[in-house]
């Protein structure tokens, strides 16, 4: 009985930490969008979030991670889209479904997404950090592609395919009709490019 209570308390503690982390990240991102990344200090964020600066850095080891608070979870979901796909569903179809659910393809969230993307593109530190995240995702996806494909892929092939997949997602977000563009690019990968 006591063991079960401890697990429930641990669950509640973790839930509280997750809520606090999200609150701090949302607050910081809002401030960065409003004032500019370089104009906002971690001390200001900590004060407004009502936490100490050391506590802030327990949640976020760098200023950049305040903006990219879900990078590990996104990577896990990307990999799970491939490894946990239903039997008979192709890797590309599973990834297309996965990417289609992103906020970037939700018309109701367009203003919010555009403000976030403007922040990233206009801030060199955040842009470089975002590129590093994508490179890590690319490597992780390449590894899982090698493991999950029936026809064995060489490392370079898997890396190139992973790059094309993530690039299709990235490029489609800038298209006039992002969701249609995403489908078009994935269909091109499925069917091959014909001159």
CATH topology of domain 71-191: Tetracycline Repressor; domain 2 (1.10.357)
Sole residue written with tokens 């955040």: 126
The confidence score (pLDDT) of residue 1 equals: 43
Q: What is the mean pLDDT of each run of 10 residues along the chain (195 residues)?
A: 52 86 95 96 96 95 94 94 95 94 78 90 95 96 94 93 94 86 93 80
Buried b (16+ CB within 10 A) or exposed e, 41-71: eeeebbeebebeeeebeebbeebbbbbbbeb
The confidence score (pLDDT) of residue 110 equals: 81
Helices 71-83 + 91-100 axis angle, to 10: 140
The CA-atom distances, in angstroms, between 116 and each of 32, 54, 147, 149 are 9, 26, 34, 35
Look up residue 60 and give its two tokens.
């976020």
Q: Where in the chain is the domain with CATH 1.10.357.10?
A: 71-191
Domain 2-62, CATH: 1.10.10.60
Q: Where in the chain is the domain with CATH 1.10.10.60?
A: 2-62
The confidence score (pLDDT) of residue 144 equals: 97
First vs last Cα of the chain: how many Å apart? 68
């Amino acid at each position: 009985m006591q063991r079960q209570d401890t697990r429930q308390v641990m669950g509640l503690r973790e839930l509280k930490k997750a809520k606090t982390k999200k609150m701090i990240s949302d607050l910081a991102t809002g401030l960065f969008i409003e004032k500019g990344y370089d104009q906002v200090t971690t001390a200001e964020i900590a004060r407004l979030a009502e936490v100490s600066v050391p506590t802030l850095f327990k949640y976020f080891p760098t200023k950049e991670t305040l903006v990219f608070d879900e990078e590990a979870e996104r990577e896990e979901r990307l990999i799970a889209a491939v490894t946990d796909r239903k039997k008979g569903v192709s890797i590309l179809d599973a990834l297309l479904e996965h990417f289609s659910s992103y906020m970037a393809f939700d018309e109701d969230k367009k203003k919010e997404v555009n403000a976030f993307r403007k922040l990233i593109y206009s801030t060199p530190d955040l842009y470089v950090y975002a590129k590093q995240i994508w490179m890590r995702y690319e490597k992780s996806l390449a590894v899982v592609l090698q493991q999950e494909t029936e026809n064995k892929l060489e490392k370079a092939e898997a890396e190139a395919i992973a790059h094309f997949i993530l690039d299709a997602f990235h490029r489609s977000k800038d298209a006039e009709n992002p969701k249609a563009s995403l489908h078009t690019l994935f269909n091109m990968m499925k069917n091959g490019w014909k001159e």
